[in-house]
Amino acid sequence: MVGRYPDEAAAVMLYGVHLEALGLTQYAHWVYVLRNQHLARAPIGAATARAVSMRILVGPFAWVVAIVLALFSPPLG
């Protein structure tokens, strides 16, 4: 949709919502592994858990900002 309607806020926002859902799903999988560490090959330390969590959440945070920006200027979103 974004390729066909790059200047339409709805298309850009739909794309952002899709990416937001993907990022939050990835985070949910990570949290599941953290709570069920027997699924990992090696123990996951607290520092690693924090670092990976922050790295995963950068995307969803950025997409929320992009979705809001798309309300005002779709090319910025």
pLDDT digit string (tens) for 35-65?
999 999 999 999 999 999 999 999 999 999 9
- Rounded mean pLDDT, 20-28: 97
Q: What is the DSSP string of 16-67?
A: HHHHHHHHHHHHHHHHHHHH-GGGSSS---HHHHHHHHHHHHHHHHHHHHHH
Instruction: Determine the residue type at 30.
Output: W
Q: How far apart are CA 74 and CA 1, in angstroms?
A: 13
Instruction: Evaluate if residue 2 carries a pLDDT over 70.
Output: no
User: Residue 73: pLDDT band by 50, 70, 90 thresholds?
Assistant: confident
Task: Enter the pTM of the model.
Answer: 0.82
Cα Rg of the chain (Å, integer)? 16
